[in-house]
Chain A
Amino acid sequence: MLQGTLIYGFINSVILMLVALGFSVTFGISGVANFAYGALYVMAGYLTWLGLHSLGLPFWLAAPGAVAITAGVAAMIYWFILLRVRGLVVSEVIATFGVGLAILELFRYLGFIGFEYTLPPLIDASVMIGDTYVDAQRLCIVGAGIVLAAFLWFFTHYTKTGLAFRGIAQDERTSLTLGINADKVAAWSVAFGAGYAALAALVILPLGTIAVNEGYNVLVNALAVCIVGGLGSTVGIIVASFLIGFAQILTATYLETSWMMIVSLVAILAILVIKPSGLFGHQKQLEERI
């Protein structure tokens, strides 16, 4: 039982990390809290499904296509909507949340409401670890989590665009003086975050079905991890994912499954009381600001 709990706790943590990485990257660089994030995640799932079933494309073509379209849509959201309200935090939140709502409800309106919307697993098998059976797709999720986290580190340390991302994240004005186009980089970061959401969707959604409401759940989970870890901190995201992920599975195993849902909310409340900027947040503490 303990072994199973640890295995599933680890997998659950990686799922949370995957879900939150893109949201955190976007916020860390552009300062935009992209509340359309969950909708973009679901959109990637539906687009892949459409590619596979309506266009008859092979998975290796449908999946990258869906990732590219999702990232493109996110870039357009920035260029046509967010650019006009940039810096007005409340307006940014309202605008992104509104766009996300519109995307999700559009899918509902178009009839994406049945149970047939599922994605194929990358590997269709079960593996026994100790005395616990785990489906191979979950192991793929762990692999994808490691690869995407490593790629993010590599990208932000060794590529020009990635370095520009970090420049804007650290000091936008100074970056401007060095010739970095802040708006362009911010648009890239929103698209990059959405691409990460799409990649997460491609490996996580085969575990179940694609449903419109999943968009709201993903947003809540991403927010919880980012708030606890500290908005914009990649290390914070990884640590918070594991804290919340294990806490959720332990709660479900040793208390009641229904309590699992409140773990994220309790974690948010606790962190807001103890350290409002999050575990690895860069924002100043309340007392420092005063």
Chain B
Amino acid sequence: MRKLTCILAITMLMAGLLLAPTGALAADKVVLGVTTSLNFLEGKEANNSVKMAVEEINKAGGVKVGGKMLPFAIESIDIRDAAPGVPVPEALLGIEKLILEKKPNALVVGPFRSEALLAAMDMLSKHKVPLLGTIAMSPKTEAMVAKNPKYKYVFRVSLDAKYFVGYIAGVMGFMNKEFGFKKVFIMNQDVAWARATAGIMTKIFKGKLKWDVVGHETFPTGASDFAPALMKAKMKGAQVIMPVFDMPQSGILIKQWKAMRIPAVMAGFISPITGPTAWKTFDGKIGGVVNSVFELGSIPSAKYPPSKKFYDAYLAKYGKPIEAGHGPAPAYASVYLLKAAIEKAGSLDPDAIVAALRATDAEGVMGRIKFTKGNQVIYGKDPTKEALGCFFQWTDDGKRVIVYPPAIAEGKIMLPKGMKSAK
């Protein structure tokens, strides 16, 4: 009988240990998983930003979990979803591999492609792993989280297509008011977020803004000749060309626009011309282009000091400035948000972390961070009240001047050389 009691006790102890949630185990570190396309610029710089935040936090003692200070540890995996031709299931396998093998307490950065993020949502619910995504842009995740509580583990700390559209509408409104422009030609990459952005903008142009959409072209990822579309834009008298691209080849569009001397302002998002070294890369041929940065901090603003502090710290640490307009700032902010949430929850229990994250109200490098019911960071026009994205214009002498929103604007949009106002 004594032997049986002993066996039962050991069995129950082992079962208890096995069945206990990961967070309840005596952890010696808080594991952060970085699951993204590490070999693409945004992924690489976002990963660098995560490392920077982790180093800062660990240097200051780590994260306080139930009275014990634990360090952050990073486990990363390249899911390659940004590369053309890599199927979504392959990206999902990468995420699940990291979850099963490294047992992360949370994931940061996340997939590039919205298609991959949307497909991963069920897996994240199944394994109860919070994800603070900073790249994929589809607003559909927010709707799904708001509609179904099982997706509560998915957060988005960066801009989404919906807020991006709001910023573009603001810039176009300015150009209409200032120069009398009302003819736009839309060019976008054939990926979910860019299609969504172009689609919503087309409706807004035709409806609320009362612009004439003289053409709309969609380019497959990897396309490298934009000449026919530019000729169409010129022929149809477009005054503004709105590009929405995040592929390396999209820089060619600007070169061709300049070489073909298309008399239209280029205003939208082209990832290769976002960073400060783009001026040199494109031989100084990007003067006049109005481009967006999705999160403040990835570009510094003297009018919002935390963004400049982060930007300068990154430059000092890595010896290179941030080139990506999307990902680094929110990736850095995500680590601090997690630290705050874990300390507030007092444990590594995923549900408690999620509850604490949802109640976030913090000042970050990209502005004030609060989440909607769908776990999307709220964007606005004042960095002391909401998170902020912005538009800047390349000047003819190679400087990036923030032109929108007004709260952080350093100058007004100027017409490129050779273009005249329609007023």
B-binding residues in A (CB < 8 A)? 1, 4-5, 8, 12, 108-109, 111, 113-116, 118, 120-121, 124, 126, 132-135, 207-209, 211, 213-214, 216-217, 249, 252-253, 256-258, 260-261
Give the residues in chain B near A249, CB-CB below 8 Å: 227-228
What is the distance, in angstroms, from A164's C-beta to the closest C-beta of chain B?
A: 37
Q: Are B231 and A257 in contact (CB under 8 A)?
A: no
Q: Are B217 and A207 in contact (CB under 8 A)?
A: no
Say what secondary structure dominates the interface of chain A. mixed
Closest to B37 in A: A113
In addition to A213-B248, A253-B228, 14 A-B residue pairs with Cβ atoms within 8 Å of each other are A4-B227, A5-B231, A113-B40, A115-B271, A126-B260, A126-B261, A133-B261, A207-B256, A211-B249, A213-B84, A253-B232, A257-B217, A257-B218, A258-B220
17 contacts between A and B (CB under 8 A): A8-B225, A8-B231, A111-B44, A113-B40, A114-B323, A115-B323, A118-B251, A118-B281, A118-B282, A120-B283, A135-B260, A213-B222, A216-B84, A252-B225, A252-B228, A256-B217, A257-B219
Determine which of B39, B84, B190, B252 lies in contact with A209 in the assembled complex, contact meaning CB atoms within 8 Å.
B252
Give the residues in chain B near A4, CB-CB below 8 Å: 227, 231
Closest to A107 in B: B39
B222-263 interface bits toward A, Cβ cutoff 8 Å, 1 = contact, 0 = none: 111111110110010000000000001101100110011100
Closest to A137 in B: B259
Give the residues in chain B near A109, CB-CB below 8 Å: 39
B85: Cβ under 8 A from any A Cβ: yes
Q: Are B248 and A8 in contact (CB under 8 A)?
A: no
Give the residues in chain B near A124, CB-CB below 8 Å: 283
Determine which of A114, A134, A217 lies in contact with B41 in the assembled complex, contact meaning CB atoms within 8 Å.
A114
> Once bound together, how far apart are the Cα atoms of A207 and B260, in whole Å?
12
Range for the number of chain B residues in contact with chain A: 35 or more
> Once bound together, how far apart are the Cα atoms of A207 and B40, in whole Å?
21
Q: Are A258 and B222 in contact (CB under 8 A)?
A: no
> Once bound together, how far apart are the Cα atoms of A16 and B84, in whole Å?
21
What is the distance, in angstroms, from B126's C-beta to the closest C-beta of chain A?
A: 31
A-binding residues in B (CB < 8 A)? 39-41, 44, 83-85, 190, 217-220, 222-229, 231-232, 235, 248-249, 251-252, 255-256, 259-261, 271-273, 275, 277-278, 280-283, 323
Give the residues in chain A near B280, CB-CB below 8 Å: 116
What is the distance, in angstroms, from A227's C-beta to the closest C-beta of chain B?
A: 20
> Once bound together, how far apart are the Cα atoms of A120 and B228, in whole Å?
24
What is the distance, in angstroms, from A81's C-beta to the closest C-beta of chain B?
A: 24
Q: Are B217 and A5 in contact (CB under 8 A)?
A: no
Q: Are B220 and A261 in contact (CB under 8 A)?
A: yes
> Once bound together, how far apart are the Cα atoms of A108 and B380, in whole Å?
36
Q: Are A209 and B220 in contact (CB under 8 A)?
A: no
| Known contacts A126-B261, A133-B260; A216 and B281 CB within 8 A of each other | no
> Once bound together, how far apart are the Cα atoms of A148 and B190, in whole Å?
35
| Known contacts A5-B231, A260-B223; A216 and B248 CB within 8 A of each other | no
Determine which of A8, A114, A121, A217 lies in contact with B224 in the assembled complex, contact meaning CB atoms within 8 Å.
A217
Give the residues in chain A near B323, CB-CB below 8 Å: 114-116
| Known contacts A115-B271, A124-B283, A211-B248; A5 and B83 CB within 8 A of each other | no
Give the residues in chain A near B271, CB-CB below 8 Å: 115
Q: Are A134 and B259 in contact (CB under 8 A)?
A: yes
Q: Are B223 and A257 in contact (CB under 8 A)?
A: yes
Q: Are A258 and B218 in contact (CB under 8 A)?
A: yes
